[in-house]
């Protein structure tokens, strides 16, 4: 019963966000991580400095995970995770350091993951410990 509700909600979300692939991908990644045993603690965290944004912050097996979600309509022009370049990693790292400091979490307890979402055909891939 509940699974049918989620499928219906997905259909509605896709219609309302059909031109906003990033938001749709974040919603899908959020649900995917929760279903995989993660506890989501923040979404779209932006430090006061305004530099960088973390799409999802989750706890997974004793690690504070900073997840970057990349979404593409299709993989025709490359995989979504290929868009996480050195500049993006630097901005994520700065934002993550701010979040970890405020949360009182040691840097040895954090991890950076990428959630790669392709809408057609539908595929979600969780790349753990994607960069340091």
In tens, the pLDDT along 79-124 reads 999 999 999 999 999 999 999 999 999 999 999 999 999 998 999 9
In tens, the pLDDT along 38-66 reads 999 999 999 998 888 999 999 999 999 99
Q: Which helix (H) or strand (E) holds 128?
A: strand 123-131
Alpha carbons 55 and 93: distance in angstroms, whole number: 12
pLDDT given at position 17: 47
Supply the pTM of this predicted model: 0.84
Architecture in CATH of 2-131: 3-Layer(aba) Sandwich (3.40)
Coil, helix or strand for 50?
coil
Question: Domain extents for the chain?
Answer: 2-131
| 31: nearest Cα among 4, 61, 53, 10 | 10
Give the C-alpha distances (Å, rounded to integers) separating 108 from 16, 51, 72, 111, 114.
Answer: 40, 22, 32, 8, 18
């Amino acid at each position: 019963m509940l699974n049918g509700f989620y499928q219906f909600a997905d259909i509605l979300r896709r219609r309302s966000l059909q031109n906003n692939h990033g938001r749709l991908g974040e919603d899908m990644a959020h649900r995917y991580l929760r279903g995989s045993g993660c506890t989501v603690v923040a979404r779209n965290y932006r430090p006061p400095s305004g530099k960088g944004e973390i799409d999802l912050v989750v706890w997974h097996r004793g690690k504070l995970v900073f997840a970057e979600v990349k979404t593409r309509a299709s993989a025709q022009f490359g995989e979504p995770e290929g868009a996480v370049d050195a500049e993006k990693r630097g901005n994520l790292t700065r934002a993550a350091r701010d979040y970890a400091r405020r949360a009182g979490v040691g840097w040895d307890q954090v991890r950076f993951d990428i959630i790669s979402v392709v809408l057609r055909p539908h595929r979600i891939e969780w790349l753990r410990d994607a960069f340091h």
